Structure 1
Amino acid sequence: MDQIRIGMIGATGRGGIAKYWHKPDGKSIVVGGMDVYPERLAAFQKNVNPDAFITTDYRELLERKDIDAIAITSPDFCHEEHAIAALESGKHVFCEKPLAITVEGCDRILAAWKKSGKHLMSGFNMRYMNMFRTMREIVDSGVIGEIKAVWVRHFVGYGGYFYYHDWHGNSKNTTSLLLQKGSHDLDMIHWITGKYTKKVSAFGSLDFYGGDKPNDLVCNNCGEKETCTEASFDKLNQCAFREEIDVEDNNMIIMEMEGGIKASYLQCHFTPDYHRNYTFIGTEGRMENDELTNRVIVKTRRSNTMRQYADRIYEVKEAEGTHGGADPNICKDFVDMILYGKEPVATPLAGRMSVAVGCAATESIRSGGRVVEVAPIPDFMK
C-alpha cells in the first residue's frame, strides 16, 4: 500500500484536520466524510475534497471498500460506538481525545483493537507540540534529576464559549471536563514523567455557569444578550446558564503516581486568560513552562558540581500548522503508523489512562473528595 484512503466521522469542527491528510499526490487522501448536518458535509466537500463520498450515516462510510482508515472527530459520547464499529469493519482508527467517556468504554475499544489486528491512535496532539516535546526532552536528559512533584494550572479563558454553550455542559455527554479538556493535561503529566497515576482525591463545583434559564434558550433570542458576559452569536449559542448544565467549571485534583510522585492539576473555566502552566520538580532542579513568552525555564539546585551554575532558558521554536504545529505532525504519524508500522507517540493505552484518571477524579469530586483508586491497566493490555 502506497497511499492511505481516509474517511472522516465528524466532517467539521475538529474534523478540520482532514486538510493535513488530504494529499492526493502524497501518502494519504481523504475520500469520505460523515456528519449528521448536511450543510457541514457540503462545507467538507468544498474545503477538503469535492469528489469525496458524503453521508449522514457513519455505517455507510464503514461499508466502503475504498476506505482504509477512519478518523473519529465526532462528539465524545460517540467515540466508543464509532471506534468499535470502525475496528470491527476492518479499518485503522484515529480517535480524537478523550478515547471514550468511561473507563469501561475505553476498555471495550482496546479489546476491539486487539482483536482487529488494525492500528489505533489516540488524538493527543499536545504530545506533538514543541513546548511539551522540549519539556519531555529536558526530563529525559536528567538535568532536573528524578521527578518528585508536578504542579499544573490550566487557565481555560474560553471555557464558557467552548464548553457551556452546547452539549459539553451536560455530564451525560462528557462525564466531566476533566475528561474532555483535562485529558490533555493528565496525559502530559503521564507522558513527561513516564509514570501513570494510581489514586486521586479531587474537589470541584459549578461556581459560575449553569442556573435556572430554560434549556431551549439561545443567545440570539435572549433579552439579556446585550449585557450578558457569556453571550455568543456563533453556532454555539445555547444559554450558558441553562438548567441542564451540571458539569463542574472549577476543579482541583491531587494525584499519587507511580514512583511516589505527587501531582496536582487545577482547571478553571471562567478565568479571563488562557494558558497552561506546568512545573516539574526533581531531585536536582525545577522545570517550568511559560506559554506567554514561549519559553521553558530550568533552575538547578545546589549539587556541589558545576551543574548548579547552569540555569537554562529554552526558547521554543514556532511551528507551522494548527495547535502550534502539532496537528500536521500527529496526522503524519497516523499515516506512518499504518504504512510503516511506526509506533505512535500517542498510544491507545495513554488514551485510556487519562480517561481513567479523569473518571476517578470525577467520582472523588461527586462523593465529597474521598480518595479513589484509578482503574488499573486491564490484563489483556499487559
Structure 2
Amino acid sequence: MEKVRIGIIGAGLRSGIAKYWHDPDGKSVVVGAADVSMERLKEFQKKINEDAYITTDYQELLARKDIDAIAVLSPDHLHEEHAMASLQAGKHVYCEKPLAITVEGCDRIMETAKKTGKHLMVGFNMRYMSMYQTMKGIIDSGVIGDLKAVWVRHFVGFGGYFYYHDWHGNSKNTTSLLLQKGSHDLDVIHWITGKYTKKVSAFGGLDYFGGSQPNTLTCPTCDIKDTCPEASLHTLTQCAFREEIDVEDNNMVIMELEGGIKASYLQCHFTPDYQRNYTFIGTKGRVENNDQEGKVYVRTRKSNSWHEHSDVTYDMKQEKGSHGGADPKITNDFVELVLNNKQPLTTPFAGRMSVAVGCAATESIRSGGKVIDVSPGPSMTYV
C-alpha cells in the first residue's frame, strides 16, 4: 500500500481534521464520509473533497472496497459501535477520544482490534502539542528529580457553549465530562508521569447548568434569550438549563498513581477564562505551564548541583495547524502506522486507561466520594 484511502464517520465539528488526511499528492486521501445529516455531508464535500462518496448509512461506507481506514469522529456514545464495525469490516481505525464511554466498551474495541489484526489509534492530540512534549522532556531529563506530585486545573471558559447546549449534557451520551473533556488531561498525567492511576476519590456537582426548563426549549425560541448569560452564540441551541442535563459541571479528583505519585485534577465549566494549568513537583524542583502565555517554567531547589543556581523559562514556538500544530502531526502518525507500522505517541491501552479513571472518578462522585479502585485492564506495560 502506497497511499491510505480514508473514510470518515461523523461529519460534525471534529471532521475538520480530515483536511490533513486529504492530500492527493501525498500519502493519504479522504474518499468518503458518513453522517446522519446530509447537510453536514455536503458541507464536508465542499471543505474536504468535492468528489468524496457520502452516505447517511455508515455501513455503506464500510462496505466500500476503496477504503482502507476509518476515522471515527462521531459522538462519544457511538464510538464503540462505529470502531468495532469498522475493524470487523477490515478497516484500520483512528478513533477520537474517549475510546468509549465505558471500560467494558474499550476492552471490546481492543479485543476486536486484536482479533482482526487491524491498527487502532486513539486521538490524544495533546501528546503532540509542543507545550506538553516540552514538559515531558524536562521531567524525563531528571532536572526536577523524582516525580512525586501532580496538580492540574482545567478551566473550561464558555463551557456551556461547548457542552451543555447539545448531546454532551446527558450522561447516557458521555457517562461524564471526566471522559469527554477529562480524558485528555488524565492521559497527559499518565503519559508525562509514565504511571497509571490505581485508585481515585472524587467530588463534583451540577451547580450551575441544568434545571427545570423543558428539553424541547431552544435559545432562538426562548423569551429571555436577550438576557440569558448562556444564550447560544452558534448552531448548538438547546437550552443549557433543561431538565435532561445530568453531568457535573465541576469536578475535583484525587488520584494515587503507580509508584505512590499523588495527583489532583479540577475541571470547571463556568469559569470566565479558558486554560489548562499543569504542575509537576519532584524532589529537586517543579515544572509548571501557562498556556495563555505559551510558557513552561522550571523552578529548582537546593540539590547540591548546578541545577539549583538557576530557573528556566521555555517559550513555546508557534506551530502551524489546528490544536497548536498537533492535528497535522497526529494525522500523519496514523498514516505512518497504517503504511509502515510505525507506532504513534498514543496507544489504545492508554485510551482505555483514561476512560477507566474517568469512570472510576464518576462513580466516586455519585457515591459520595468513596475511594474507587481503577480497573487495571489486561496490561499495565505501555503508557
Q: Quick check: 2:68–2:92 contact (8 Å CA) kept in 1?
A: yes
Return 5+ residue gaps in structure 2 as ranges: none
**Paired residue for 1:308?**
308
TM normalised by structure 1 equals 0.99
Percent of pairs with identical residues = 71
**Paired residue for 2:12?**
12
Trace 1:234-249 onto structure 2 (pairs within 5 A).
234-249=234-249
Trace 1:176-325 onto structure 2 (pairs within 5 A).
176-325=176-325
Deviations 1:80-126 (A, max 9, x none): 00000000111000000000000000000000011111111000000
| Structure 1 residue 310 displacement after superposition | 2.4
Separation (CA, whole Å) in 1 of partners of 2:316 and 2:310: 18
**Paired residue for 1:170?**
170
**Paired residue for 1:339?**
339
TM normalised by structure 2 equals 0.98
**Paired residue for 2:103?**
103
Separation (CA, whole Å) in 2 of partners of 1:194 and 1:224: 49
**Paired residue for 2:3?**
3
**Paired residue for 1:78?**
78
DSSP 3-state at the match of 1:198: strand
Trace 1:135-150 onto structure 2 (pairs within 5 A).
135-150=135-150
**Paired residue for 1:351?**
351
Separation (CA, whole Å) in 1 of partners of 2:275 and 2:42: 34
Change (3 A) 1:381 1:289: closer
Separation (CA, whole Å) in 1 of partners of 2:299 and 2:45: 51
| Structure 1 residue 234 displacement after superposition | 1.9
| Structure 1 residue 379 displacement after superposition | 5.8
Count of aligned pairs between the two proteins = 382
Deviations 1:145-204 (A, max 9, x none): 111000000000021000000000000100000000000000000000000000000000
Return 5+ residue gaps in structure 1 as ranges: none
Separation (CA, whole Å) in 2 of partners of 1:376 and 1:350: 11
Letter matched to residue 194 of structure 2: G
Change (3 A) 1:194 1:25: same
DSSP 3-state at the match of 1:71: strand
Separation (CA, whole Å) in 2 of partners of 1:139 and 1:303: 16
Letter matched to residue 229 of structure 2: T
**Paired residue for 1:35?**
35
Separation (CA, whole Å) in 1 of partners of 2:5 and 2:72: 14
**Paired residue for 1:361?**
361
**Paired residue for 1:117?**
117
Q: Quick check: 2:88–2:112 contact (8 Å CA) kept in 1?
A: yes
Change (3 A) 1:379 1:318: closer
Q: Quick check: 1:14–1:73 contact (8 Å CA) kept in 2?
A: yes
| Structure 1 residue 378 displacement after superposition | 2.1
Cα RMSD for the two superposed structures: 1.1
Deviations 1:19-38 (A, max 9, x none): 00000010000000001000
Separation (CA, whole Å) in 1 of partners of 2:67 and 2:75: 22
Change (3 A) 1:275 1:379: closer
Letter matched to residue 290 of structure 1: N
**Paired residue for 1:46?**
46
| Structure 1 residue 302 displacement after superposition | 0.2
Q: Quick check: 1:255–1:263 contact (8 Å CA) kept in 2?
A: yes
Q: Quick check: 1:220–1:233 contact (8 Å CA) kept in 2?
A: no
Letter matched to residue 47 of structure 1: K
Q: Quick check: 2:161–2:233 contact (8 Å CA) kept in 1?
A: no
Deviations 1:350-376 (A, max 9, x none): 100000000000000000000000001
| Structure 1 residue 293 displacement after superposition | 1.1
